[in-house]
């Protein structure tokens, strides 16, 4: 995947996600049950938090450091997600939305700064476990968003029947 393709995918997946939110009254955005006990607001905060970790990860890569980000740790993902959800619970929907939009801007800016060879070479970084950098980016941005887009679409379907 080229840098331009990656940037286009980041943008197109975000558009698809936002399109799915169209028409949902804001009063429904904090209702649990969209994905397990999560609301739309919870999903947005969750996506933002993981992508913020990605931004940190990319910054460390660009500094020539081995990333210390959560992506490389052996963690209980469910426990981390639950802790992050508790932390975000009292944040306003407006603040969660702002973070959601800002983190994608930061991700795209970090991707723009990367050399194409750093994105594509599977063995470019020892810590990357043989995966090219673009796959790490995809996993915590547009692929993650696509996963939760399906949750929202299924919830909308359940709600309409």
pLDDT number for residue 107? 98
pLDDT number for residue 74? 80
pTM score, whole prediction: 0.94
Residue 89 CA to residue 41 CA, distance in Å, equals 9
pLDDT number for residue 75? 86
pLDDT number for residue 161? 81
pLDDT number for residue 68? 85
pLDDT number for residue 141? 98
Q: Which fold has domain 3-160?
A: 1.20.120
Residues of the chain with pLDDT under 50: none
CA-based nearest residue to 69, from 10, 128, 115: 128
pLDDT number for residue 73? 78
């Amino acid at each position: 995947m080229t840098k331009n393709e990656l940037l286009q995918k980041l943008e197109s997946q975000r558009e698809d996600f936002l399109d799915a939110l169209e028409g949902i009254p804001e009063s429904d955005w904090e209702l649990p049950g969209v994905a397990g006990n999560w609301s739309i607001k919870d999903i947005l905060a969750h996506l933002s938090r993981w992508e913020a970790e990605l931004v940190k990860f990319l910054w460390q890569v660009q500094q020539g450091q081995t990333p210390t980000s959560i992506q490389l740790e052996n963690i209980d993902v469910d426990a981390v997600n639950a802790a992050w959800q508790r932390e975000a619970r009292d944040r306003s929907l407006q603040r969660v939305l702002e973070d959601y939009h800002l983190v994608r801007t930061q991700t795209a800016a970090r991707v723009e700064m990367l050399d194409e060879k750093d994105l594509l070479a599977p063995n470019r970084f020892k810590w990357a476990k043989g995966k090219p950098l673009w796959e790490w980016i995809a996993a915590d941005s547009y692929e993650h968003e696509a996963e939760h887009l399906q949750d929202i679409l299924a919830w909308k379907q359940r709600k309409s029947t």
